[in-house]
């Protein structure tokens, strides 16, 4: 696997302010209920938890998905909330070739933009923004064990489906999951020097022939429920370090 271009600050000890970024409101609702958040805010131990998402598009009433909206929303939220830690939770595509199945969980070790194709030295690394997230290897393994998750690369792009070239890249890098926001969040956290950890739940298998949008819709509730079940355990482990 190629070396990452950026490495985020380490996980903080006993963070006082945790910003929970969830891209879609329908993903956020069961997690907020599991964490007993009210109006997007609550406490877990000594930590203040604040929920952030990009909201809905006024013209279509759809969630503002994708890396641009994710980066915009997180930049604004960091400026106002000044968190000690950003936690990203959400759904993603997984890879059957790597042993993933529907509703499995992945804790991200690193992230990058898989659809960045810039054939210019230096600029290619900037566009890929390959970033190692905050937990070190032992922390990743311990956190994954607490919620029965896998650890690995979560790759981000602007599309729900994947091209044949992207599928080949996923296989080469042994990518575990594919989403539409984590690499953008990591780029913001690298700029702002804020620690970041991410948990993804699998709604569809990218390397299967079924259209991703059909599997996503069918499995969304089940996978969101699995994320909600894991959220309190993961956050308790993070805020009581």
Is residue 146 in a domain?
yes
pLDDT tens, residue by residue, 3-39: 778 899 999 999 999 999 999 999 999 999 999 999 9
Residue 171 falls within a domain, yes or no?
A: yes
Whether 6 is in a domain gets the answer no
Domain that holds residue 49: 14-239
The tokens of 220 are what?
Answer: 């969304």
| Token pair 């690193």: residue | 110
Q: Give the CATH number, domain containing residue 139.
A: 3.40.50.1580
Closest CA to 130 of 10, 5, 1, 8: 5
What is the C-alpha R_g of the chain? 16
- Residue 8 in any domain: the answer is no
Which of 11, 239, 203 is CA-nearest to residue 105?
203
- Please give the share of the chain, as a percent, with pLDDT higher than 90: 89
Decide if 7 is inside a domain.
no
Any bridge partners for residue 107, and if so which? 151, 199
Q: Is residue 4 part of a domain?
A: no
Average pLDDT of the chain to the nearest whole number: 95
Q: Find how far residue 53's CA is from the centre of its chain.
A: 12
**Predicted pLDDT at 47:** 96
Q: How many independent structural domains does the chain possess?
A: 1
Residue 204 β-bridge partners: 93
Residue 9 lies in a domain: no
Asked, for residue 120, whether it belongs to a domain, the answer is: yes
Any idea which residue has 């993603």 for tokens? 92
Q: Is the pLDDT of residue 181 over 70?
A: yes
Query: Average pLDDT in the 68-94 region?
Result: 97
């Amino acid at each position: 696997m190629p070396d990452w271009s950026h490495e985020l600050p380490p996980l903080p000890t006993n963070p006082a302010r945790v910003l929970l970024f969830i891209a879609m409101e329908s993903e956020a609702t069961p997690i907020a209920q599991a964490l007993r958040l009210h109006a997007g805010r609550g406490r877990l131990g000594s930590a203040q938890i604040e929920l952030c998402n990009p909201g809905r598009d006024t013209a279509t009433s759809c969630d503002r998905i994708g890396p641009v909206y994710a980066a915009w929303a997180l930049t604004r939220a960091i400026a106002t909330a000044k968190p000690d830690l950003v936690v990203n939770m959400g759904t993603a595509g997984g890879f059957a070739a790597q042993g993933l199945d529907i509703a499995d969980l992945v804790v991200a070790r690193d992230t990058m933009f898989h659809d960045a194709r810039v054939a210019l030295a230096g600029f290619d690394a900037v566009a890929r923004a390959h970033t190692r997230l905050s937990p070190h290897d032992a922390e990743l393994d311990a956190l994954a064990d607490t919620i029965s998750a896998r650890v690995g690369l979560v790759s981000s792009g602007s599309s729900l489906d994947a091209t044949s070239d992207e599928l080949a890249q996923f296989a080469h890098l042994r990518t575990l999951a594919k989403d539409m926001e984590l690499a953008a969040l990591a780029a913001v956290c690298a700029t702002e020097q804020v620690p970041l950890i991410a948990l993804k739940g699998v709604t569809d298998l990218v390397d299967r022939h079924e259209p991703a949008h059909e599997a996503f819709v069918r499995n969304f509730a089940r996978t969101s429920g699995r994320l909600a079940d894991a959220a309190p355990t993961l956050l308790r482990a993070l805020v009581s370090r």
